[in-house]
Amino acid sequence: MTKNQQVVSLMQRLQNIGCRIWAEDDKLRIRTSKNALTSELKQEIQINKADILAFLNSAKTQAVIPEEIPVLRDDAPKPLSFAQQRLWLLAQLQGRSASYNMPIALQLDGNLNIHALHSSLAYLLNRHATLRMYFPTVAGQPQVAIQNLDN
């Protein structure tokens, strides 16, 4: 086992018993509940103190390169989430249902600005892709598709 592996193993054991360990101003800091550290662990920490500090300090200086999350095109097939799968299966078993719809009727007084209403709804639909989703079946498997607003 390499020194790094020993340090990682020790830190995992400390984490498993609820210890928090960090480097601060080239000093090793440990926060734990009372009596959580056995004399053997204290001795192991003392023996490996320099290696633990070096490991923690090197972890601070290493640049973390975030993994880029690919953006799928709207027309690319997407799998259903588990919740969507459940609702899709219920729809297949029970047929069409209004159980998950929230119908509402509004009464508007005064003149209606059709252009403003159309613009508001278009903005809402453009902003929230979930309102444009539908679920076609491709090769027997449901997929998520998003209606394009260009039309």
DSSP-assigned letters across all residues of the chain:
--HHHHHHHHHHHHHHTT-EEEEETTEEEEE--TT-S-HHHHHHHHHTHHHHHHHHHHHHHSPP-PPPPPPPPTTS-BPPPHHHHHHHHHHHHH-S--TT---------S---HHHHHHHHHHHHHH-GGGGEE--EETTEE-BEE--TT-
CATH number for the domain whose boundaries are 3-61: 1.10.10
Q: Are 144 and 82 in contact (CB under 8 A)?
A: no
Q: Is the pLDDT of residue 90 over 70?
A: yes
CA–CA dist 129, 74 (Å, integer): 9
Could you report the per-residue pLDDT of 96-114, keeping only the tens digit for each? Answer: 888 888 888 888 899 999 9
Model pTM above 0.85: no
Q: Which amino acid is at 70?
A: P
Rg, the chain, Cα only: 29
Every domain of the chain and the residues it spans: 3-61, 66-99+114-151
Q: Which amino acid is at 136?
A: P
Lowest mean pLDDT among 57-61, 130-134, 137-141: 57-61
> Which residues make beta-bridge pairs with 22?
29
